[in-house]
Amino acid sequence: MSDPSAARHKMPNFIQRLITIPTQEERIRARAGAPLNPFKLAAMLTPLQAAWWLSGFFAWAVDAADFFAVSLNVARLATYFGFGKNNHKVTTAITLTVLLRPVGGIIFGLLSDRYGRKWPLIFNLVLIAAFSVATARVQTFHQFLAVRALFGIGMGGIWGMATATAIENMPRAPRGLFSGMLQQGYPVGYIISAVINIAWVNHSGDWRILFYVGAGLSLLAALFRLALPESALFLRIKAERKAYPSTATWIKTFTSEVKWLARNCTVRVIYGILLVTGLSFMSHASQDAYPLILQKAKGLSAYQASVATIIGSCGAVIGGLAAGYISQYIGRRLTIVIYSAAAGLLIPAWMLPNSFSRLAAGVFFLQFMVQGIGGILPALLQDMAPTRYRATFPGVVHQTGVMLTAYSAQIITTIGDHNPIRNPKYVPGGQQPETIPNYANVSAIFLAIVVVFLLLVVIFGPEYDGAPALENTEAVSLASSSSGTDKTSPTEKAASELDSGSRASDIEQQQLAKPSH
């Protein structure tokens, strides 16, 4: 009789790591001793840690709201600039914004890792507000493109600083839950813009309202961050720099930091970019053309399409919360695999129905899965990030992955335009055209391909669980390196203690809670 354990040992390592059921001790260690009760997880945060998290969430939500202000008013902007029904030129501004986001990720990430989480984020939010007001004041399309390009740089800086502000100071145990909540700032931002668009813009016809409101929200987020102190972890980094002063110039220090990142983090960066690229492609495939599909292929009104999209965003929020919470117990990697596979299975329910209720249910559950994966990203990228670059690393990785998917909408619309299908509303002699672009089938096929891509990346990829060993084995501070020392810097030790402090106490409590024999 064959030995099942022997057969298991013959499996490739990546399959063993994915399907092996951990022991009780391993499960406790993997989740950093986190209790199962989410309310107990939330209670682990101090009021200041909760305020830092809320500040990061608010910044990310208003950033997303400002971004979606254009996509929600493409038709109005096309009319304003004299393009008639040709929306493609206006969508160029959206693509340009996405392409320039990595520039902002690099600039503001390095500023934040050098000068702190507080003032760079405040400055970034003020810039976002200024660019939103400028968008509302443009007179020509070229001015519009220039302002949205600058907005893209500003937008690219927010995510990395927001995640660092929100997560880096909290114990490891609740990070999964609050990571899921943090990432939902993106769909929350969409909901904010969509509600304002329905309530005010649709009635007044003035698209500028959305940009003025967005600017006000960005300034409010900046004021909220102003009321909070600097990040505790960054203050430790700042104290270390004073303890290990360096005579190197800023340019030399910057060059050394870039070389260190390239030498030590190449695999992490590539893996992170592939993950974000796959997720971003999934988001684009399931969202970009969906309102048009609902109106043109399914026969829904513009109002019904907007409501269905908001319902999908609600599913995204709930899915992100659930995925972030679950990932703390079964691992980030396995959670992504489960959610990706479920998203693939839900594609028919998302695209095939014709009634509003069934379409709304399909988009709710699909976005629950797709954006649920996004809920894991903040914690996962913070787990992967070197302590000294917890704003730069996540920001650059996230924005680069998003940039690589900038042309997703153009790919879907171009293929759909060249492969039209019969218009269900067509009546001989009527006003409706006989054929319409085949966005529905193209989006479904594109989404299925991306699901397979993401599954392959994650299944063959490593598990970054944010263990203290990850921090302790990282490079020494540049200042101490210049003096010839070779020992772990105080900042690395402090970060390790921050990540593992609650873990040790929670595991100890678990052991004490075991019944004696």
CB 234 within 8 A of CB 116: yes
Return the percent helix, strand and coil in the chain, to nearest 5: 75, 0, 25
Nearest by Cα to 320 from 381, 373, 278: 373
CB atoms within 10 A of CB 168: 24
Cβ contacts of 297 within 8 Å, gap of 6 or more:
421, 424, 436, 439, 440
404's tokens: 């690589």
Question: Which residues of the chain carry a pLDDT beneath 70?
Answer: 1-24, 26-34, 85-86, 246-251, 253-254, 257-258, 464-517
* Contact criterion met (CB below 8 Å) for 148 and 97: yes
For CA atoms 239, 244, 246, 250, the dihedral sign is negative
pLDDT per residue over 450-506, tens digit each?
Answer: 999 999 999 888 776 554 333 433 333 333 433 344 344 444 444 444 444 444 333
Q: Which two tokens stand for residue 448?
A: 């299925």
Query: Which residues touch 409 (CB under 8 Å, ≥6 apart)?
Result: 91, 94, 95, 284, 288, 289
Q: Give the residue from 454, 276, 281 showing the smallest Cα distance to 377.
A: 276
User: Could you read off the pLDDT of 122-175 as tens digits, one per residue?
Assistant: 999 999 999 999 999 999 999 999 999 999 999 999 988 999 899 888 888 888
Backbone phi, psi, residue 499, to 5° = -70, -35
> Nearest-5° angle of CA 229, CA 232, CA 236?
130
One-letter amino acid of 251: I
**pLDDT at site 30:** 58
Distance of CA 2 to the CA centre of its chain: 46
Per-residue pLDDT, 354: 86
Q: What is the pLDDT of residue 1?
A: 46
451 residue type, one letter: V
pLDDT score for 29: 65
State residue 54's pLDDT score: 96
Element (DSSP H or E) covering residue 422: strand 421-422
Q: Are 108 and 389 in contact (CB under 8 A)?
A: no
The amino acid sitting at 199 is A
Tell me the pTM: 0.75
Distance in angstroms (rounded) separating the CA atoms of residues 306 and 345? 24
Amino acid letter at 479?
A
Domains of the chain in start order, with CATH, are 53-233+264-422+432-465+489-501 (1.20.1250.20)
Q: What is the sign, positive or negative, of the torsion defined by CA atoms of 74, 79, 85, 86?
A: negative
- The model's pLDDT over 189-206, given as tens digits with 9 standing for 90+, comes to 988 998 898 888 888 888
